[in-house]
Structure 1
Amino acid sequence: MKQEYDSKLTAAEIGTLWFQYMSDSMVLQVLTLFSHQVEDREISPVVEYARGLSQDHLTKITEMLGSENVPVPNGFTSEDVELAAPRLFSDPFFLSYLRNMGRIGLQRYGLALTSSARQDVRNFLHECIRTSAELNEKATSVQLSKGLYVRSPYIPTPERKEIVHASDFMGSLFGKQGPLLAMEIDHIFVNAQSNMLGKALLMGFSQVAKDPDIRDSLLRGKQIAHKHMEVLSSMLIKEDLPAPMNMVSDVTGSTVPPFSDRLMLYHSTMLQAAGLGNYGVSMSMSMRMDIITMYSRLMLEIGQYVEDAAQLSIEKEWMEKPPQAVDRKELALSR
C-alpha cells in the first residue's frame, strides 16, 4: 500500500517563502530603478536578468503560499520607488550590488533547502540557487572585463605539507598571533568588501531620507559599516595584505529620494541581518582567537542595530507580522 505524506507547508517552508517574498518585492523596486537609470551596455543585461529573477520569484511564491491559503504579504510596490528621481548610484555600483545579491542568495537558499521537504518548494530553491550562481557569474564576468573586480589577496604558494606542532598555533586574546590563514584572509576580505558596499548604500539612503528618525537610523547604519570596514581592513593591513577599495565615489550628491523611507529602512535592516550571517560563518571558519573575538563583538553591535531598526519600523506601523506559532497559553486564558 502506497504511504501518504502530509504535503502541507511546514513552518520552515512558510517562513522561507514569506521572507523571500518580502525581500524580492523590495529588490524588484530597487532593480526597476536601476534598470531605468543604467547606461552601460554591458551592465544593463545583468540588471535586467536580476530583475527578471525577482519577478519570477514573486509569481512562484504567490502560487505556493496561495496553495495553502497563507496570506501573501503586501511587501513593496511601485509606490515605494520614484523613477523620475535623479541618479543616486553609479553603474559600477549597480554591478557590485548585483554581485552581492548573488552571494547572499546562494547562502540563504542553500540553508533554506536543507530544511525544506515539499517537492515544489525544493524545486523552487534549487532553481534559486542555480540562478543566484548565474547572477554572480554574470556580474563577476562584467566586472573582470571592465577591470572592476577586486581580487582577494594573494599569498605565497605553500612549498610542502606541514603538521602543526606548536600549542600556540591558534594564538591567544592578548599574546602573539600567528599569520592569518588563507580562509581567514578570504572571509575578512569579503566582509570588509560587503561593509564598503553597505556604507555606500546607506550613505546614499541617508542623503535622501525624509523622516528624521529614518535618517538617523540610516546614518547609524552607515557609521557601523564604516567602523567594521576599518576593523576588518586593519587586520589585513597589519599582515601587509591589501584591503578592498572604498566605494563612496559611486554615490552622487543627489538629495531627492528614489525610494520610500520604509523601503530604505527595511533594506538597511536586511543588509545588517545578512552581515550577522556572514560573521557567523566567518567565525566558524577562523582559528585565531583574536579573530573569533572580533567577530563576536561585531555581531553584538549589528544585533543591537537590527533590534533598534525593527522597533523603529514597529513605531512607524510599517512592519508586517511574519507567520508565527499559535500562543496556546493565550488561547487557554481567553476562554
Structure 2
Amino acid sequence: MPEKPAITSSELGTLWLTYQQKTMILRMLEYFIEKADDDKAKDIMTKLYKEIDPYVGKMVEIFKNEGAVIPVGFAEQDVNKEVPKLYDNGFDIMFIRLIKEISMGLHSLNLTMSYREDIVIMYKELTAITQNYYNLCTQYLLEKGMLARPPYVSMPNSVEFVKDINYLGGFAVNPLTEKRTLNTVEVAHIHHAIESNITGMQMITGFAQCANEREVKKFFNEGAELAKSIIKELSETLLQSNIQIPEASGGHATRSTVAPFSDKIMMYCTSLFCSFSMGSNSLGTAFSLRNDLPAKMTVFMKDIFEYAHKGAKIMIKNGWMEEPPQMEERTQIIKK
C-alpha cells in the first residue's frame, strides 16, 4: 500500500468546495480588516485570516500532488480594499459569525465523507478553528450589545408528556383548534432563522447598493425583500405566542455605492447563504411538532430555492460559476 492512497471522488469534491469557500472568506476578510475601526474586531479577523490562509496552501499542495487542476476560486481581483466602507457598526463580525456557523456544518459534513488521514485531520483542525472564532464573534457582539439573546423562559418544575394529538395544533389536525404556545425547541429554530435572515438582509442590501451589473443589482434587491418577508412572518409567529422578537442593533449598510467586492464573489456569497438557509429551515421543519410551522418553513425553502436557482442562471450567464470536478463520461468514452 502507498503511504498516502489517492484521494477519492468525495474527497476531491469536498476539497474543491472548501477551496471555494476559504478563498472567498479570505478576500472578504482582507477588506473588513482594512476598514475595521475597532481594535478588538480587527484583532479577531486578523488572527482568523492567519489561521485560515495556510489551509488554502495545503489544499493547493494536495491538488498538485494528485495531478488535479487548481480551482480558480477567488483572488485579488475580486476585492478592492481602497473603496469607502460599505458596512458599519459591527457588521464585519456579524458576517464572520454567520460564515463560521456555515463552516461548522460544512466541515463536520466533509469530515464524514473523508477517508485519507491527512484530509480527516485537516477538517478536524478547521472545525476547531471555526468553533473558536464563532464563539469569539458571539462574545464580541454580546459585549457590544449588537446581538439579541433568545427570550428567557420559566424553568420547568415537572416532566410532562403529550396527552392529546391537539398538541400538534395547526390546520393538519383540526382547523378549528387553537394553536398551542410554541415550545422552546421551536422558539430556538425560529429565533435562529430570524437572526440569520437579519444578517443576510443587511449583507445583501449592501450588495444591492454597489453591484455593477443591473441584473445583479435587481437580484440582490429581490433577495433583500425575500429575507424581509421571512423575518416578518416568523416575527408574527413569535408575537402570536407573546414572545419577544430578536432585533439587531448594528451592522447596517452605509450610503456607499462603490463596490469593494466583484459581482462574482457577491453572487457566490449569496448562493452560499441560500444553501445554508435551506439547510437550517429543513432542521427547523424536522424539529417542529406544531403543524403550521413545517408548512411555513416548506414555503420558505421553495422561495429560497427558486431565488437561488435564478442566481445560478445569472452566474452561468456571466461565466462566474466554476464547475466542480466531473466524474468520467463513460458512455462518451465507450462511443469514442
The TM-score bracket by the shorter chain reads over 0.9
Closer/same/farther in 2, CA of residues 4 and 64 from structure 1, 3 Å limit? closer
Compared CA separation, residues 53 and 274, structure 1 to 2 (3 A): farther
What amino acid is the match of 1:126?
K
Name 1:285's counterpart in structure 2. 287
User: Match for 2:272 among 255, 270, 284?
Assistant: 270
The one-letter code matched in structure 2 to 1:268 is T
Query: 1 CA distance for matches of 2:168 and 2:51?
Result: 43
Equivalent AA in structure 1 for residue 211 of structure 2: A
Amino acid at match of 1:77: A
Deviation at 1:123, TM superposition (A): 0.3
Question: Does the 8 Å CA contact 1:34/1:94 hold for their aligned counterparts?
Answer: yes
Structure 1: 5+ residue stretches without partners: none
Deviates most, 261-270 or 196-205: 261-270
Is the 1:200–1:248 contact (alpha carbons within 8 Å) kept by the matching residues of 2? no
Task: Specify which of 288, 299, 302 is matched with residue 300 of structure 1.
Answer: 302
- Partner residue in 1 for 2:132: 134
The corresponding residue for 1:53 is 51
Which string of whole-angstrom CA distances, capped at 9 and with x for unpartnered residues, describes residues 45-88 of structure 1? 11112222331231122122222122121111111111110001
Which residue identity lines up with residue 320 of structure 1 in the other structure?
Answer: E
Q: Distance in 1 between matches of 2:308 and 2:7?
A: 28
193-202 or 95-104: which moved more?
A: 95-104
> Larger deviation: 32-41 or 87-96?
87-96
- The equivalent residue for 2:32 is 34
Structure 2: distance between partners of 1:250 and 1:221: 16
Residue identity opposite 2:59 in structure 1: I
Structure 1 partner of 2:206: 204
Select 1:217's aligned residue among 211, 216, 219: 219
RMSD (Å), alpha carbons: 1.7
Q: Distance in 2 between matches of 1:281 and 1:65?
A: 34
Distance in 1, Cα, partners of 2:3 & 2:54: 28
Relative distance call for 1:181 and 1:5 in structure 2 (3 A) is farther
Please report how far the alpha carbon of residue 93 of structure 1 lies from its aligned counterpart in structure 2 after TM superposition: 0.8
1:120, 1:148 → 2: CA distance? 39
Structure 1 residue aligned with 2:170, among 139, 148, 172? 172
Q: Residue 256 in 1 paired to residue 258 in 2?
A: yes
The match for 1:150 is 148
SS in 2 for 1:250: coil
Deviates more, 1:238-247 or 1:278-287: 238-247
Secondary structure at 1:304's aligned position in 2? helix
Question: Which amino acid in 2 is paired with 1:83?
Answer: K
Deviations 1:23-57 (A, max 9, x none): 11111111100000001112111111222233123
Q: What's the offset of the Cα at 1:176? A: 2.5
Greater mean alpha carbon deviation, residues 105-114 or residues 322-331: 322-331
SS at match of 1:116: coil
TM, length-normalised to structure 1: 0.94
The runs of 5 or more residues in structure 2 that have no matched partner are none
Higher alpha-carbon deviation: 211-220 or 44-53: 44-53
The answer as to whether partners of 1:38 and 1:44 remain within 8 angstroms in 2 is yes
Shift of 1:5: 9.4
In the TM superposition, what is the alpha-carbon distance from 1:297 to its structure 2 partner?
1.0
Question: How many angstroms does 1:172 deviate by?
Answer: 3.3
Change (3 A) 1:249 1:109: closer
1:227 equivalent to 2:198? Answer no
What's the offset of the Cα at 1:328? Answer: 2.1
Deviates more, 1:145-154 or 1:301-310: 145-154
Of stretches 170-179 and 77-86 in structure 1, the one that deviates more from structure 2 is 170-179
- Contact (CA 8 Å) 2:150, 2:191: kept in 1 or not? yes
**Structure 2 SS opposite 1:9:** coil
Structure 1 residue 248: deviation in Å? 7.5
Q: TM-score, normalized by length of structure 2?
A: 0.94
2:333 equivalent in structure 1: 331
Q: 2: distance between equivalents of 1:56 and 1:115?
A: 22
Q: Structure 1: which amino acid aligns with 2:117? A: Q
Secondary structure of the equivalent of 1:293? helix
How do residues 41-120 of structure 1 correspond to structure 2 at under 5 angstroms? 41-120=39-118
Point out 4+ residue stretches in structure 1 off by more than 6 angstroms: 3-6
Q: Which has the higher contact order (CA 8 A, sep 6+)?
A: 2
Per-residue deviation, 1:331: 2.7
- SS of alignment partner, residue 168 of structure 1: helix
Distance in 2 of aligned mates of 1:160 and 1:5: 57
Greater Cα offset, 128-137 or 235-244:
235-244
- Identity among equivalent positions (%) equals 26
Three-state SS of the structure 2 residue aligned to 1:160 is coil
- Residue 93 of structure 1 aligns with an amino acid whose one-letter code is F
